[in-house]
Structure 1
Amino acid sequence: MTDTSIAAAHPAAFSPAASTKGIQVDLPPVFCPMPLRCHPDVSLLERRGIEWMDRHGFCRTPDQRNRVTGTKTAHFFAYLCPDADAELLQAAVDWGYLMFVFDDRHCDEESDADDAFIFLDLAVRIVRTLEAPDAGVLDPRHPFTAPVTDLAHRIHRTSSPTHVRRLVESHRSWFSGVAWDQAARTRGWPTISDYLFTRMLYVASFTTLTWFQLSEHSEMPDRQINAPAVHALTEMAGTVAAIDDDLYSYGKELWFTRRRDDPEAVFPGNLVNLLRTTHDCTLDQALRETVVMRDRIVDRFIDVRDRLLPHAGAPLQRYLSNLTCLIPGNFAWGLAADRYTNPDGRHPGAVTTRGSITDIPSATGSPGIPSIAWWWHDLPLPPC
């Protein structure tokens, strides 16, 4: 068994000991036999992305600029799409920088969950603008209007109608998931089955994976990307990314929880705490159970992917490559991003999360969860 720290990729993410005033989370090793790859133009993607955010007024103060740069969004997409056309990938990078600001203001734990209309009204207007850039449905004074409109015009110039449609539908999926999550926070704990299939919606996994496609010159036909085996791989990769988000963001959420009116409250929007509550176990046990679940999914992902690859044409091969890169790339990025080590942008080093990878899964086979059980069914190969 190999237990390899990924500190070599991001040395700053791993300190030997956490600050006595901060929070330290030590994660069990996660199964990740895929190599971490990076786009060679990551520095250019980062510079252009930050300049774009600056032009649209999101870096006016040092705190705002640090908040934007600290997301390391260019690295996120550079890890996920290491072979993409840099010009096409830039739109995805710019979208990522902007959507992290959007997420902080309207989607995360600090947003006002009681005022759902503010979020939904903005969400439907963003979707319509992506669909029809000149629709004029966004308030000209709103800070998101100019950048969203710019992105919409860019994707309509460079992408096929099929890709645009997929991007629009993926945003509808994401925003419906966020709306569900905001409403669900007041209704108690979901089941693990409900949590997993809704989590892949409001973590924006389908939207992110659609940007994969827009960064490629080739277009996969619907009959391939919608084939059960390919769709299962899409869901598996997105769910692993969501679970890893729950792991590397646990310290951030704990930091915010301790600063609220009820510091002993347990936040439900995280698989680790859902398992703690459902199984009445310790944090260490819940972390191990969370890793066991994601390892089972990674093992199944590799099995299905390897059955598809010998029969896949070039567009599908690139898509499967990007899905594969998502698993190590998202994990490495999340451990390093200031978004999770400096929760509010004003407390550098407040959270330290230490993680490592292994080439042997902690468990294999279906976890027996109804909403995702079909991933372990007999999945026919997609048409050529």
Structure 2
Amino acid sequence: MPPAYGDNTRPSRIGWPLPPFYWPYARDLIHPKAAELEERSIAWIDAFGLYPDATERAWGLATRSADMVSRIVPFGEVEPMLLFSQWCYWAFAADDWQDSGTGPARTAAVADHGARLIRTLEVPGAGLLPPGPYTAALDDLVARTREMLTREQLHRLTEGLRDWILGAAARTAAEEQGVMPGLNDFAATRVSVGATRFLLTWCDVANGIHVPGEVLYSAPVQALTDAAGFIVACDNDVFSYDKDDHQKPLEQNLVNVLALHHGCTAAEALPAVYALRDRSVTLFARLREQLARGADDQLARHLDSVEHWVSGDTAYHDGALRYASPRNRNALPVEGASFDIAWSDAPSDPSLEPLPIPALAWWWQQLDASSR
């Protein structure tokens, strides 16, 4: 069934159905233990009483975090995937808390809460967060994460969390200015806002991948990481547009940024969003092929993992009730709601040139002569 907007609510400003999503790799993969992961994740949520009432629980489960993890890690080990899924349910609750803030202290609150969260992961038992179900669940996640991950993985995860918090603080600071940012300023932090490095660390953990730091943090691999994060962010900004379109001023979303940039409506800006996305996919494919030529087993598996993250995230958003039956139009999630997306084998913009965004143009500089 189509996205659920209800008989007495406004239609989508960007329209439906959405244009096809270009992706030249495998699509619609899902882990065979997806149902088990969801059942065990929900049992964990209920054991900690993470949501205060039935309505909040319904919307919390509508994030479908276990489905997301099952799609972005379609061949992973179940136990780390379970922990990853529980982290995602918890993080969605944190994200909703962040988005609910208003007033001049909002950036300060995000920065303060984020610093306490990071330190709690680094130093369990630091006592920096107030007691309650939310903190108890976090303490459980932290203890099990520190037991499961190697020291290197834990450091990478912590840095990914730090990058995510920095992005969230930068975004809320920009929102407080009350002015829609320009495209370059917006793009510069969007990968961080999307928790790219936090999520990809978990993908590697769940897949049992260990890429040495000198390879993982090389410029070409980091460019691939950023490109993947931007593609996922573009998709998220499209899928989440309707659930946030009641905000005033308008949410800092790529659709709204481009609508201002081009002086058009949100619906008219959608092709420009897809053009940026698809040119990023083309760059991703060229850079991935280049890296694969000299890759050892671990890097090759990491490239597969990043690839699965992107396509799995798009497929996840398709049927996640958080997006397909947005809360600003529905009292409760509507079962069966879906965007019914289509895939495309060709980009909407076939250009091989760098995007006209200085903060992102360095990705194309990582292509060697044979890949240009």
TM-score higher than 0.5: yes
**Residue 69 (structure 1) aligns with:** 61
Residue 313 of structure 1 and its aligned partner are, at CA, apart by 2.0
SS in structure 2 of the partner of residue 377 of structure 1: helix
Residue among 349, 365, 369 paired with 1:377: 365
Q: Which moved more, 1:167-176 or 1:204-213?
A: 204-213
Counterpart mapping for 1:247-262 below 5 A: 247-254=238-245, 256-257=246-247
1:179 has 2:165 as partner: no
Give the alignment's Cα RMSD to 1 decimal: 2.2
SS in structure 2 of the partner of residue 83 of structure 1: coil
Counterpart mapping for 1:188-337 below 5 A: 188-254=179-245, 256-257=246-247, 265=248, 267-337=250-320
Q: Distance in 2 between matches of 1:55 and 1:75?
A: 20
Residue 138 of structure 1 and its aligned partner are, at CA, apart by 2.5
Q: State the number of aligned residues.
A: 357
Once the two structures are superposed, what CA deviation does each residue of 1:136-169 show, in whole Å capped at 9, x if it has no partner?
Answer: 3323x14322111111111211111111011111
Mapped contact 1:199–1:242 kept (Cα < 8 A):
yes
Mapped contact 2:255–2:266 kept (Cα < 8 A):
yes
**Residue 82 (structure 2) aligns with:** 90
1:360 has 2:346 as partner: yes
Mapped contact 1:247–1:272 kept (Cα < 8 A):
yes
Q: Distance in 1 between matches of 2:103 and 2:301?
A: 39
Q: Distance in 1 between matches of 2:275 and 2:54?
A: 41
CA gap of 1:352–1:51, structure 2 versus 1, over 3 A, is: closer
Residue 124 of structure 1 and its aligned partner are, at CA, apart by 1.1
Q: Distance in 2 between matches of 1:267 and 1:90?
A: 35
Letter in 2 for 1:359: D
Residue 176 of structure 1 and its aligned partner are, at CA, apart by 1.0
- Normalising by structure 1, we get a TM-score of 0.87
Residue among 100, 113, 121 paired with 2:112: 121
SS in structure 1 of the partner of residue 343 of structure 2: strand
**Residue 21 (structure 1) aligns with:** 8
Q: Distance in 1 between matches of 2:240 and 2:33?
A: 27
Q: Distance in 1 between matches of 2:307 and 2:103?
A: 34
Residue among 114, 122, 142 paired with 1:152: 142
Residue 311 of structure 1 and its aligned partner are, at CA, apart by 2.2
Residue among 334, 340, 343 paired with 2:327: 343
Once the two structures are superposed, what CA deviation does each residue of 1:322-348 show, in whole Å capped at 9, x if it has no partner?
Answer: 211122211121121111123256254
Q: Distance in 2 between matches of 1:349 and 1:41?
A: 24
- Normalising by structure 2, we get a TM-score of 0.90
Mapped contact 2:164–2:192 kept (Cα < 8 A):
yes
Residue among 122, 134, 143 paired with 1:131: 122
Counterpart mapping for 1:98-109 below 5 A: 98-106=90-98, 108=99
CA gap of 1:53–1:113, structure 2 versus 1, over 3 A, is: farther
**Residue 168 (structure 1) aligns with:** 158
Residue 195 of structure 1 and its aligned partner are, at CA, apart by 0.6
Ranges in structure 1 where 5+ consecutive residues have no aligned partner: 1-11, 258-264
CA gap of 1:273–1:294, structure 2 versus 1, over 3 A, is: same
Residue 312 of structure 1 and its aligned partner are, at CA, apart by 1.7
Once the two structures are superposed, what CA deviation does each residue of 1:329-369 show, in whole Å capped at 9, x if it has no partner?
Answer: 11121121111123256254599745322100011322221
Mapped contact 1:228–1:379 kept (Cα < 8 A):
no
